[in-house]
Structure 1
Amino acid sequence: MNYRLTMVCILKKGLTLVSTSFLLGTAFAAGGDFPLDSAPDRLNNNASLQNGAKIFVNYCSGCHSAVNLRYNRLRDIGLTDQQIKDNLILGDQKVGDLMTISTNPKDAKAWFGKVPPDMSVVARSRGTDWLYTYFRTYYKDPDSPTGWNNLVYPNVGMPHVLWQLQGERAAIFENVKDAKDPGKTTKAFKGFEQLSPGLMKPQEYDDNIADLVSFMSWMAEPTQLQRKRIGVVVLLFLAIFTLIAWRLNKAYWKDIR
């Protein structure tokens, strides 16, 4: 591979990560106090990743691009070119094209207040636990411009695009005394009230969100499993080489000492 081209690709991805981190710091700024749930790790499960890819394409890619990933990279999770064409390419793109969107950035900014960030590296920027909790803590809020709010990201500008799957829920809050100032009260989250059922049961919805988050984690770095395997091999090699070098050193110097 051309060295200059490789460095350009690395620099481009690095700049994307920095810019996405900045956007998420503003567009996805969370309250920071809500406890995060642990996201299941399904990076080794191709069936889960394929389901996550389907959810991403059908519910997320209308507004969020993934410009560091090409459709043909989905072969790595067990899909054929024909399956990618039939199930995951909704426009006129080709299998070798980047996962871009047709939404105009100016229109997106007008609709949501900010341009929706590219999702190529969002899992690395925010973390899978944040994403897993975020997608599962939407609730109806009549005071919000979109009619929705989120416990992880208060006053979220993004509507709940998965509401048909999860159903409509209301958040129950209770006024409690502020631990730092007893004279003040704060709102404490107590639970959800299901207003209308979704197409999925709660456990089924959580399971599908785990698949989506796992796919987003894979999408952020498709080679991460290979990188980790190579890392283990390298560490084992270095450990064995160190032992051999230590023994050779003792053998070389034994007569002198």
Structure 2
Amino acid sequence: MNLLKKLIAVLALVPAVTFASEATFPLDQAPNRTKDLAALQNGAKLFVNYCLNCHSASAMRYNRLVDIGLTEEQIKNNLLFTSDKVGDLMKVSLSAKDAKEWFGAVPPDLSVIARSKASGAGSGPDWLYTYLRTFYKDDTRPTGWNNLVFPNVGMPHVMWELQGVRTVKFVEEKDPHDASKTVHKFAGFEQVKPGKLSATDFDNATADLVGYLEWMGEPGQNKRKRLGVVVLLFLGFFMVLAWLLNKSYWKEIK
């Protein structure tokens, strides 16, 4: 029994240790766009144009986008590749073999990425929002890019044309845990080449994309929440009726 308890305790700590290793850079809070249909539609467009070339979303069908206000005709004309159909799953033609050869690893499926990245340091959307906005130029990396949230990341900065090219500045400070060592501390970005969007517009576009990724992880979440409110109101009303009925039954008893 003691051995079982120790095993459970170790397994419970594994996720915390894993996320702690990633969460060395402070996360920014992601704006909640899951109820903004215009933002979700823009996020879907960004997802198809910038993510779906390498990352699949195999638990999502194109026709589910009607839930965010798009018609099947709009989906077909604006978001589908030539050979895809409206009822198809969001898959990619990139083979796992080619992906591993080019990037060193197979790009993960993004169906529930906003939920899987949740940790004690912040929510999944917070992680994605900060990650997508902290790429910087690094010629020592195979792709030419690096990231503050995910150091030595294998993924290139796919939205660099929108954000522009930035380098990062570090300053050396003494390691608080070991005075004989120094650590690199982030000291800001330097814009080398402007992007198509301003910094504010790029942050808004990223928030739309993250909002879509969050919605895609559970497309029925808004309906579920609305239904939950209705159920709670019904239970509250029923509780009052039950209390009045109980009072009526016992009023003659002293």
Length-normalised TM-score, structure 2:
0.87
Give runs of ≥4 in structure 1 deviating > 6 Å: none
Q: Work out whether residues 174 and 188 of structure 1, in 8 Å CA contact, stay in contact via their aligned partners in 2.
A: yes
SS at match of 1:184: strand
1: CA distance, partners of 2:183 / 2:21: 18
Name the residue aligned to 1:239: 236
Residue type of the partner of 2:30? Answer: A
Q: Is there any run of 5+ residues in structure 1 with no aligned partner, and where? A: 1-21
Give the C-alpha shift of residue 219 in structure 1.
0.9
Residue type of the partner of 2:57? Answer: A
Deviations 1:62-114 (A, max 9, x none): 01111111111111111111111111002311111111111101111121222
Q: How does 1:2-151 map to 2 (within 5 A)?
A: 31-126=22-117, 127-151=124-148
Is residue 2:198 matched to residue 1:207? Answer: no
Deviations 1:202-241 (A, max 9, x none): 1111110011011111111111000000011111111221
Q: Work out whether residues 30 and 154 of structure 1, in 8 Å CA contact, stay in contact via their aligned partners in 2.
A: no
Residue type of the partner of 1:54? Answer: K
2: CA distance, partners of 1:195 / 1:121: 34
Shift of the 184–29 alpha-carbon distance from structure 1 to 2, 3 Å rule, reads closer
Name the residue aligned to 2:181: 184
The alignment of Structure 1 onto Structure 2 pairs a total of residues equal to 233
Deviates further, 181-190 or 57-66: 181-190
Deviates further, 235-244 or 123-132: 235-244
Deviations 1:164-186 (A, max 9, x none): 11111111111111222223221
2: CA distance, partners of 1:207 / 1:243: 46
Residue type of the partner of 2:52? Answer: S
Q: CA RMSD in A?
A: 1.8
Deviates further, 138-147 or 152-161: 138-147
Is residue 2:217 matched to residue 1:226? Answer: no
Name the residue aligned to 1:169: 166
Shift of the 223–107 alpha-carbon distance from structure 1 to 2, 3 Å rule, reads same
Name the residue aligned to 1:159: 156
Name the residue aligned to 2:11: none
Identity, % of aligned positions: 61
Length-normalised TM-score, structure 1:
0.86
1: CA distance, partners of 2:86 / 2:152: 37
Shift of the 69–149 alpha-carbon distance from structure 1 to 2, 3 Å rule, reads same
Give the C-alpha shift of residue 143 in structure 1.
1.5
2: CA distance, partners of 1:152 / 1:140: 14
Q: Work out whether residues 65 and 101 of structure 1, in 8 Å CA contact, stay in contact via their aligned partners in 2.
A: yes
2: CA distance, partners of 1:169 / 1:183: 31
Name the residue aligned to 2:120: none
Residue type of the partner of 1:211? Answer: D
